[in-house]
Amino acid sequence: MIRREVARGLVREAGGEALLERLEHLDAVRSARASGAAGAPGAAGARGEGLRAPDRGARPDHDVVIAGGGLSLLLAPLLAAKGLRVAVLDRARVGGAHREWNAGEAEVQALVGCGLFSREEVERLIVARYREGFCRWHGGGTYPVRGVLDHAIDARGLLDAARAQAEARGVSLLDEHALVAHAEGRDAVALSVESGGVRRSLSTRLLVDARGAASPYATADLICPTVGGVMEGLEVGPGPRQIQPDVGEILVSTEGIDGGFQHLWEGFPGRPGETTVYLFYYARAEDVGPGALVSLYARFFAQLGRYKAGEPQLVRPTFGYIPGWSRLSPAPRAKGRRVKLVGDAAARHSPLTFCGFGASVRGLARTAKALGEAVERPEVSEMGEDAPVHAGTGALAALMARPPRGMGAEGMNALLDTAFSVLHAEGDAFYGALLRDEMSAGDFVGFLQKTARLRPSVYREVFGALGAGALGRWGVGLARELLRVG
Ligand SMILES: Cc1cc2nc3c(=O)[nH]c(=O)nc-3n(C[C@H](O)[C@H](O)[C@H](O)COP(=O)(O)OP(=O)(O)OC[C@H]3O[C@@H](n4cnc5c(N)ncnc54)[C@H](O)[C@@H]3O)c2cc1C
């Protein structure tokens, strides 16, 4: 195993000091959350901090302030186009993405459909297309699928374009400004913002919390620590330890459960000679220890050779904690009416695939519309729709996040192998629907039944992982979706 200090050094070497700072900030926020320190929900630092809420009838500086200029920066030009006075602030550079995204045709269409880009502009942001993708389980089979997660998107290019559009529409962009506190009044929210050690105040009619996993409101019960980045030097070819430029590797395991977690790889070829490789695991939020991203990087560098051959070199590290909400516990929600959660802070994306980019982009137009309405009518609480299939998949993610002890080291691989053999046997439309969040509740129940027929122990495993209470909530959630459709 590589030491954490060595892993930090390798990330610094490839990404520079500022990127390492982002990594350590994410780890620090999570550790503070776990220990209930400032920044955790309910703690003093998360909200007021002595800040005075605006008086009734106050005239705020902005209509909308978006705190967090990651992917949610895409909302800014859409809101400004509605005639709203918009500001975006980020503790780093607004639009300074530190990740790469893979997506499908639905997301490409949504970027055009919401009016932000022309088809030609989006085409220029697609750095690779795949003929197929696959999932492969240690000791099991390989299950190809077509028409899903088959585009690699230039994240930096996308956010640069969104930043340019925001500027052109008069959005105020506040680089290196961290939101440290806010206090809500009847008509506006006061914000305390810190830049270079200096604090100042702003006010807005609506605060959009887009701080991702770092938001104090990001209370989703599951989390997916993810590390890796853009690599060069992977061996090209058809073998399992080689990479094919026209094939996406969606989920791959190379070992059994270790340290209580099932680790997974993914590999997505990008520009010629480059592949984005990630190592990640699903966990209950409370099970993730301090410094988990740095520790996962140590594992990444140590185990990469099990996944891919060649002389790999990390050229652009990308990482993060992706929250996931199982739908078995209360939804993340901000206190008050004038603070709205979007993106990872809200965690309304799939708890099974954690494809937050896909969900945010598909919901872009709808979210911008809901936020625009909430400026006038802040009582509107939901900023987007929840896909019906999430009522079912959350329980599977919860099972993966804390595998029952009796399952044995290879138990999760065996279960996933059975489940994916069923998906594959049903064909691309069925298999792809689950990965694209499009599967109906009825089809999902059918999928579970077929999996259970091949692996009857799944009932015991799910019960062991969830317990009676969560199992009941799962059943009720699924039944509600089945009845809604029926
Ligand atoms: C490594 C990795 C790979 C991923 N790959 C994919 C993929 O291929 N496909 C897919 O569908 N999804 C993917 N995702 C998920 C996707 O990136 C997220 O769902 C999406 O970025 C969430 O957008 P967001 O705007 O909510 O948060 P983010 O994009 O995470 O942005 C949050 C921003 O908030 C800022 N911030 C934090 N604290 C403060 C503060 N106090 N004040 C001001 N700013 C602050 C941060 O600097 C950051 O810029 C991936 C995630 C990770 C971590």
Ligand 1 within 6 A of CB of 280: no
Whether residue 330 is predicted with pLDDT greater than 50 in this model: the reply is yes
Give the model confidence (pLDDT) of 156-204 as tens digits: 999 999 999 999 999 999 999 999 999 999 999 999 999 999 999 999 9
Unique residue bearing structure tokens 């270079």:
196
Do 208 and 357 share a domain, yes or no?
yes
Which whole number is the average pLDDT over 442-466?
A: 89
Q: CA 240, CA 334: separation in Å to the nearest integer?
A: 45
Which residue, of 324, 341, 359, is where some domain finishes?
A: 324
Give the model's pLDDT for residue 41: 44
Residue 410 lies in a domain: yes
Does any domain span residue 103? Answer: no
Are residues 186 and 246 both part of a single domain?
A: no
Please work out whether the CB of residue 15 comes within 6 Å of at least one atom of ligand 1. no
Residue 252 forms beta bridges with which residues? 136, 265
Q: Residue 55 falls within a domain, yes or no? A: yes
Give residue 369's pLDDT.
95
- The reply to whether ligand 1 has any atom less than 6 angstroms from the CB of 301 is no
Q: Is 385 part of a structural domain of the chain?
A: no
Structure confidence at residue 385 (pLDDT) = 76
Beta strands in 12-111 (DSSP E): 62-67, 86-89, 101-103
Say how far apart CA 380 and CA 148 lie, in whole Å. 33
Q: Which of 471, 482, 395 minimizes the C-alpha distance to 443? A: 482
Determine the Cα–Cα distance for residues 317 and 20; give it in Å rounded to an integer: 9
- Please tell me the distance between residue 447's alpha carbon and the centre of ligand 1 in angstroms: 31
Residue at 152: amino acid letter: A
If you measure from the C-alpha of residue 22 to the centroid of ligand 1, how many angstroms do you get, rounded to a whole number? 12
Q: Are residues 456 and 473 in the same domain?
A: yes
Looking at the domain assignment, is residue 399 inside a domain? yes
Say if residue 317's pLDDT is above 70.
Answer: yes
Read off the pLDDT band of 42 (50, 70, 90). very low
Our answer on whether the CB atom of 211 is closer than 6 Å to any ligand 1 atom is yes
In b/e form, how buried is each residue of 377-416, taking b as 16+ CB within 10 angstroms? ebeeeebbebbbbbbbbbbbbbbbbbbbeebeebbbbbbb
In the 3-class helix/strand/coil scheme, how is 278-320 assigned residue by residue? EEECCEEHHHCCCCHHHHHHHHHHHHHHHHCCEEEEEEEEEEE
Same domain assignment for residues 207 and 257: no
The per-residue pLDDT for 446 is 94
CA of 70 to the centre of ligand 1 (A): 6
Query: 144 and 224, same structural domain?
Result: yes
Protein residue with least CA distance to atom 1, ligand 1:
319
Report the pLDDT value the prediction gives residue 486, as an integer from 0 to 100: 57
Domain of 315, in residue numbers:
4-34+126-152+219-324
The confidence score (pLDDT) of residue 47 equals 54
pLDDT band at 40 (very low <50, low <70, confident <90, very high): very low
* Residue 405, pLDDT score: 82
Residues 235 and 293 in one domain: yes
Number of domains into which the chain is organized: 3
Q: Give the number of C-alpha atoms closer than 13 A to the C-alpha of residue 73, restricted to the C-beta side.
A: 30
pLDDT top residue among 105 and 459: 105
Which residues are CB-contacts of 203 (< 8 A; sequence separation ≥ 6)?
Answer: 54, 58, 60, 61, 62, 188, 189, 190, 191
- Inform me whether the pLDDT recorded for 68 exceeds 90: yes
Ligand 1 in reach of 27 Cβ (< 6 A): no
Residue 110 lies in a domain: no
Ligand 1 contact via 204 beta carbon (within 6 Å): no
**With a 6 A CB cut-off, is 318 part of the ligand 1 pocket?**
yes
> What phi, psi does 65 have (nearest 5°)?
-115, 125
- CB 103: neighbour CB atoms within 10 A? 22
Alpha-helix residue ranges (DSSP H) falling in 126-197 = 155-168
Atom of ligand 1 nearest to the CA of 268: 8
Strands 198-209 and 62-67: parallel
Return the pLDDT at 45.
40
Look at residue 118 and tell me if it is in a domain. no
* Cα 308 from Cα 323, distance rounded (Å): 27
CA 309 to ligand 1 center in whole angstroms: 30
Number of H helices, E strands in the chain: 15, 18
Residue 114 lies in a domain: no
Pick from 92, 69, 94, 66: nearest CA to 79 = 66
Q: Which two tokens stand for residue 228?
A: 């890796």
State the pLDDT at residue 307.
98
What are 209-235's pLDDT values in tens digits? Answer: 999 999 999 999 999 999 999 999 999
Confidence of residue 295 (pLDDT cuts 50, 70, 90): very high
User: What's the burial of 249, exposed, middle or buried (CB within 10 Å: 0-12/13-18/19+)?
Assistant: buried
pLDDT class of 300 with cuts at 50, 70, 90: very high
Does the Cβ of 26 fall within 6 Å of ligand 1? no
- Which atom of ligand 1 is nearest to 229's Cα? 1
CATH at 289: 3.30.9
| Residue 197 burial by Cβ neighbours in a 10 Å radius (0-12, 13-18, 19+) | exposed
Whichever domain contains 62, its CATH number is 3.50.50.60
Pairing state between β 132-136 and 142-145 = antiparallel
Distance 68 CA to ligand 1 centre (A): 9
**Residue nearest to ligand 1 atom 17, measured at CA:** 357
* Residues 264 and 355 grouped into a single domain: no
pLDDT at 34 over 80: no
Average per-residue pLDDT for the chain: 93
255 with 283, same domain: the answer is: yes
Reply yes or no on whether the pLDDT at 431 is more than 70. yes
Whether residue 147 is found in the same domain as residue 250: yes
pLDDT digits (tens, 9 = 90+) for 265-274: 999 999 999 9
Please state, as a whole number, how many other Cβ atoms lie within 10 Å of the Cβ of residue 87: 25
Lowest mean pLDDT among 78-82, 183-187, 303-307, 479-483: 479-483
Looking from the CA of residue 343, the nearest atom of ligand 1 is 26
Cβ of 101 closer than 6 Å to ligand 1, yes or no, is: yes
Domain shared by 211 and 241, yes or no: no
Domain boundary (282, 298, 324) is at 324
Instruction: State the average pLDDT over residues 339-368.
Output: 95
* Residue 43 confidence (pLDDT) above 60: no
Does 213 share its domain with 234?
Answer: no
Q: Which of 372, 302, 310 is nearest to 340 (CA)?
A: 372
**pLDDT above 70: percentage of residues in the chain:** 97
Expressed in angstroms and rounded, the spacing between residue 357 Cα and the centre of ligand 1 is 8
Q: What average pLDDT does this structure show over 457-462?
A: 84
Query: Best substitution site from 19, 27, 71, 268 to test ligand 1's pocket, by max atoms within 8 Å of Cβ?
Result: 71
Q: Are residues 28 and 130 in the same domain?
A: yes
Asked if residue 464 has pLDDT above 90, the reply is: no
